[in-house]
Amino acid sequence: MRKNIVAGNWKMNKTLQEGVALANELKELLAAKAPNCGVIVGTPFIHLASVADLTKGSVIKVAAQNSADKESGAYTGEISAAMVKSTGAEYVILGHSERRAYYGETYEILKEKVLLALKNELTPIFCIGEVKEEREAGKQNEVVKAQLEASVFNLSKEDFGKIVLAYEPVWAIGTGLTATPQQAQEIHAYIRGLIAGKYGKETAENTSILYGGSCNPGNAKELFSNPDVDGGLIGGASLKAADFKAIIDAF
């Protein structure tokens, strides 16, 4: 059966010292009682090794927020999937709308990134979602379908079974606007249906589909109570240990 997961995406926040302090605080908060879901923190690259080290043996797993579409070589400033893996991180967030919008990450680039992440035994948390105009035009289903078909539906059934999906409506990210639980359930069910159509019902049932976009301690429980919402990818509210813990406690 699929796993419930609460994953944090710190984005470009926290110095190394602040990030280590946040991870330590979270570890302490979670030590008393095992959470009812998987817990992942997506840190900037420079935090990965330290945070992976300090969370070793705890329930907390570590994710990078990106990895390169090339294996190695003369790509100044890039970080490969193998490098991410060598830090002790187990996950990598790929296809985030901020990467697509601000860094020109195309379907094709993301397809390469997913393949390289899997080759290096990282679990991709693959993000999909529509922008406001697309939602207003009722095109959200079409958009997520195209994103899946172009970047992850090339995978074998076995490899697809290794990835986690995150539905993040772009209009809900950092805006305080959240998809209603009904909107989230509707599109998550649609996404699961697409997976069933491509890989079969069993793979679809086993795929964790997280919701992201202004998820907070006040709305997490209602969002996560939907049958097809298997947790959250949390931006702003993952930067405070108490808030992130409260979201984890929604399970």
Beta carbons within 10 angstroms of residue 78's beta carbon: 14
CA nearest to 4, candidates 232, 240, 235: 232
The answer to whether 66 contacts ligand 13P (rule: CB under 6 A) is: no
Give whichever of 34 and 177 is closer to ligand 13P, judged by the CB atom: 177
∠ CA 126-13-95, rounded to 5°: 15
Give whichever of 96 and 199 is closer to ligand 13P, judged by the CB atom: 96
- Interface residue with ligand 13P among 174, 197, 200, 218 (CB under 6 A) is 174
Binding region for ligand 13P (CB under 6 A) out of 13-21, 32-40, 133-141, 213-221: 213-221
Report the alpha-carbon distance of residue 51 to residue 74 in Å, rounded: 28
Q: Phi, psi (5° rounding) for residue 73?
A: 120, -155
Site track for ligand 13P across 3-32, x = CB under 6 A: ------x-----------------------
- Interface residue with ligand 13P among 215, 220, 223, 248 (CB under 6 A) is 215
The answer to whether 168 contacts ligand 13P (rule: CB under 6 A) is: yes
Binding region for ligand 13P (CB under 6 A) out of 14-22, 69-77, 134-142, 231-239: 231-239
Strand runs labelled E in the chain: 5-9, 38-42, 60-64, 91-94, 123-128, 164-167, 209-212, 231-234
Query: Which residues make up the interface to ligand 13P (CB under 6 A)?
Result: 9, 96, 168, 173-174, 212-215, 233-237
